[in-house]
Structure 1
Amino acid sequence: MFFAVNSVRTNNFTDENMIDKIKALWQEAQTKITNDTGCVYGIYHHYQNDYRGDYTLSIAVDHPIDHFSALITPNPIDNYVVFAVNDDHEDKIYQTWQHIWGLEQEGKLLRAYDVDFEKYYPDGRVEIYISILN
């Protein structure tokens, strides 16, 4: 279960303000979780269809913090493929997403489009969890 800090609805391909929305989302979240020492998550959910459609991005933590709601619960039967990001720089994260989209285009990754997430560890590591069809 993830406890959402804030959320935004956007689209990677048709929303001209997507980058600004996501940056503002992360900046706002960082002010709310400044004293938190656990993992932080970028949760992708409520997909319109595939990666070209609208989706909701929520910044969340995995434990209760005052005034955050338990917004997102991944389906317990979902299977995930985990992609390690070589660097926590946003360009490397985006390159990993491009790789994921490429695998999907090639038919090598059958995504469920349920709840996907980026997991940001306190030590700087980042992993992207993609829900897949069984």
Structure 2
Amino acid sequence: MRIEHQPQALHVIGIELRTSNEEAFRTIPAFWQRFSQQGGPAQVAGRLSDEVYAVYTHFAHAGVDNQGVYSLVIGAAVAPDTALPAGLARAVVPASRRAVFEVERGRFDRVGEAWQRIWQRGDLAKTFIAEYERYGPDGRIEISIGLAPEARPVTPAA
């Protein structure tokens, strides 16, 4: 794991699924299949790269936890002013401090296990606003979790 600062908001356009952790193992694999059948990232006009993003956002308890329903938007990164085509959705990952976890290259089957390990960690100040998986055309896979800003020391007034 590494901690990094994402200096700008990430805008992703793609297809959207509303699901929950209880349904995820049933709904998400079929959703990925649908994304592939509809042309994958090529269906997103104006995409900035061939990377695929899976953004988890619009949590029922945003800012608190990942329980309840949430949105999963699978698509491609676009410029902030890219028009939203009919039938697709936009997810915005705000500029933020992030914990980034690498998954073994090309091992899509290990992503679920990685999520389980991440959610069991109690040492991360997770924001529960927008998390994402990034899939590179070279097989690289990363999971990025939003973190609360670092506390800044308070200096006493002189």
Q: Which TM-score band applies after superposition, normalised by the shorter structure?
A: 0.7 to 0.9
State the identity as a percent: 28
Is 1:92 aligned to residue 110 of structure 2? yes
Amino acid corresponding to residue 19 of structure 2 in structure 1: T
**Residue 25 of structure 2 is aligned to residue 19 of structure 1:** yes
Q: Secondary structure at the match of 1:62?
A: strand
Judged with a 3 Å threshold, the aligned counterparts in structure 2 of structure 1 residues 11 and 88 are, in CA distance, closer, same or farther, namely farther
Q: Note if contact 2:41-2:50 (Cα within 8 Å) is conserved in structure 1.
A: no
| CA displacement, residues 80-104 of structure 1 (integer Å, 9 cap, x when unaligned) | 110000144343111111111111x
Tell me by how many angstroms 1:70 deviates: 6.3
**Taking structure 1 as reference, are residues 65 and 28 closer, same or farther at Cα in structure 2, changes over 3 Å only?**
farther
Structure 2: gaps (5+ residues): 1-9, 43-48, 150-158
Q: Specify which of 59, 62, 75 is matched with residue 47 of structure 1.
A: 59
SS in 2 for 1:2: strand
Deviation digits for residues 22-79 of structure 1, max 9, x if unmatched?
1221112112334747000110001122133321111010136993756122212x21
Cα RMSD of the aligned pairs, angstroms, is: 2.4
Instruction: Give, in angstroms, the shift of residue 113 of structure 1.
Output: 0.8
Q: Size of the alignment, in residue pairs?
A: 127
- 2:142 matched to 1:127? yes
Letter in 1 for 2:25: I
- 2:12 pairs with one of 3, 7, 10: 3
Compare CA radii of gyration and give the structure with the larger one: 2
**Would the aligned equivalents of 1:47 and 1:54 in 2 still touch at CA under 8 Å?**
yes
- What TM-score results when the alignment is normalised by the length of structure 2? 0.69
Q: TM-score, normalised by structure 1?
A: 0.80
Deviating above 4 A after TM superposition, structure 1's stretches of 4 or more consecutive aligned residues are none
- The unaligned stretches of length 5 or more in structure 1 are none
